[in-house]
Chain A
Amino acid sequence: MSAGGNGARRDESAEEISEEWTVSGIVSTLVPLLIALSVLQMVSGTVLESFEEQLLVYPSLLVLVPVMIGTAGNLGSIMCARLSTQLHLGTLEFSPTNPDIRANVGAVIGLAATVFVLLGFAAWGIGRVLGGSLGLGTLLVITIVSGMLLAIWVVLVSTVAVYLSYRLGYDPDDTTIPVVTNVCDITGVLILFGVVTVVL
């Protein structure tokens, strides 16, 4: 996560921020941002907390939590970094028929399909070792359904974030990755446990 909190002030003071390197400067820029993000993260924490009993009974589900969150963030970062590079190169056009956008979406969906199928098997295997009782079929349904929903959501959020950042005049390289990784952390947990509630 880069120093995305500088977004709003970047134009005037990018130079001073990168060259001053004072403890108080760095702390006063980052602490408010990190505190705001921590407050947001409490949403996913609350969801986890409310599923505590199920999580303790089915360790496979606990295994899934960091991976789901991390993978969604990684996919979002790839999508954002590629879209913003294309924006800087002048080749980006926000349209579903644009071959670049199609390539990005195709790659993210393909990566998600690969990772979430592997994850289903891994979570099942690890869960067995840890003494869980969830079947392979159930776990595959959970990882694939929630993973693909998450991938589609990541594509939408990343595209909207890059577009809004561009329209508002912020460099999407600075602003989108922290925003999208945080949104994915929270929605990843919500989607995972939404699917878990339906399946279990």
Chain B
Amino acid sequence: MLGQDSAIDVYRQALPIILVSLVAGLFSGTLLGTEAMREGIESVPGILLLLPAFLATRGGVYGSLGARLSSGLHQGLIDPHFEWNDRLRNAIVASFCNGMIVSVFIAVLSWGVLLVLGREANLLELLIVLIVAALLSAFAMLGVLLTVIFKGYRRGLDPDNVIGPVVTTVGDVFGVVFLLIGISVAGVVL
């Protein structure tokens, strides 16, 4: 029973998920360390500055959407099928807006911080990178999250137990890739 586990029990239960997230983290770290990404980091001032905020935002946006959908399923407010009803649509549209609004804010904020630090900064470039990365993240995260939650729920999986790891794992892996795509798009457009 929870609360009476020994350190070894807790260790055994938590180790698998910690290792999965270690592998996901290593994967995104490896992407960060690749030649292409290092060139991107060098070419767009501010990428490292906005990286932690960008990664954390997606955790917040889609983690809270997942928690909301999971509570909704438990309370019987939504059905465990993907149907385009008001409630589900509102939750999805709201999380999309949250992701986009906060990403635009992060672009402007990093630009401001770079100016304060006396570094070179290009607001338009940062905006393009973050808007592209946030849009792609929205599609990827919504797709994975909705699939895992609805399919999992129908198969008897409590979504509460899987949302956290799913959001961090998918977010870590895709976040860095989408920033890289954003950097190339900005390179092409500007």
Q: Which residues of A contact B (CB under 8 A)?
A: 1-3, 18-19, 21-23, 25-27, 30-31, 33-35, 37-39, 41-42, 44-46, 48-49, 52, 55-56, 59-60, 62-67, 69-71, 73-75, 77-78, 82, 85-86, 89, 91-92, 100, 102-107, 110-111, 114-115, 118-119, 122-123, 126-127, 130-132, 178, 181-182, 185-186, 189
Contacting pair B38 A56 (CB below 8 A): yes
Instruction: Tell me what chain A mostly uses at the interface: helix, strand, loop, or mixed.
Output: helix
Contact residue among A18, A23, A46, A65 (Cβ-Cβ distance under 8 Å from B94) = A23
Contacting pair A34 B22 (CB below 8 A): no
Known A48-B52, A63-B26, A64-B29: A103·B7 in contact at CB below 8 Å: yes
Contacting pair B67 A3 (CB below 8 A): yes
Number of A-B contacts (CB under 8 A): 230
Contact residue among A45, A56, A78 (Cβ-Cβ distance under 8 Å from B52) = A45
Contacts of A18 in B (CB 8 A): 68, 71-72, 75, 77
Complex Cα spacing A127 to B25, Å: 14
Contacting pair A115 B32 (CB below 8 A): no
User: Which residue of B has the minimal Cβ distance to A174?
Assistant: B67
Q: How distant is A119 from chain B, measured CB to nearest CB, in Å? A: 7
The 4 closest A-B pairs by CB, nearest first: A106-B7, A59-B33, A67-B25, A107-B10
Interface string of B32-59 (1 = CB under 8 A from A): 1111011001100010111111011101
18 contacts between A and B (CB under 8 A): A21-B68, A23-B93, A27-B94, A31-B101, A39-B109, A45-B49, A46-B117, A56-B41, A65-B32, A67-B22, A71-B21, A89-B2, A106-B10, A107-B14, A114-B18, A119-B26, A126-B26, A126-B29
Q: Which residues of B contact A (CB under 8 A)?
A: 2-11, 14-15, 17-19, 21-22, 24-26, 28-30, 32-35, 37-38, 41-42, 46, 48-53, 55-57, 59-61, 63-64, 67-68, 71-72, 75, 77, 86-87, 90-91, 93-95, 97-98, 101-102, 105-106, 109-110, 113, 117, 119, 164, 167-168, 172, 176
Contacting pair A66 B25 (CB below 8 A): yes
Instruction: Tell me what chain B mostly uses at the interface: helix, strand, loop, or mixed.
Output: helix
Contacts of B109 in A (CB 8 A): 38-39, 42
User: Which residue of A has the minimal Cβ distance to B53?
Assistant: A41
Contacts of A78 in B (CB 8 A): 10, 14
Contacts of B2 in A (CB 8 A): 82, 85-86, 89
Contacts of A126 in B (CB 8 A): 26, 29-30, 33
Complex Cα spacing A110 to B64, Å: 30
Contacting pair B67 A31 (CB below 8 A): no
Contacting pair A23 B90 (CB below 8 A): yes
Contacting pair A38 B26 (CB below 8 A): no
Known A1-B63, A42-B113, A62-B32: A52·B41 in contact at CB below 8 Å: yes
Contacting pair B3 A67 (CB below 8 A): no
Q: How distant is B108 from chain A, measured CB to nearest CB, in Å? A: 10
Contact residue among A26, A49, A111, A127 (Cβ-Cβ distance under 8 Å from B49) = A49
Contacting pair B18 A26 (CB below 8 A): no
Contacting pair A35 B105 (CB below 8 A): yes
Contact residue among A33, A55, A71, A86 (Cβ-Cβ distance under 8 Å from B3) = A86
Which of the listed residues B34, B46, B52 has the most CB atoms from chain A within 10 Å of its own CB?
B52
Which of the listed residues B48, B71, B86, B90 has the most CB atoms from chain A within 10 Å of its own CB?
B48
Complex Cα spacing A62 to B33, Å: 5
Contacting pair A48 B51 (CB below 8 A): yes
Complex Cα spacing A18 to B4, Å: 32
Contacting pair B55 A66 (CB below 8 A): yes
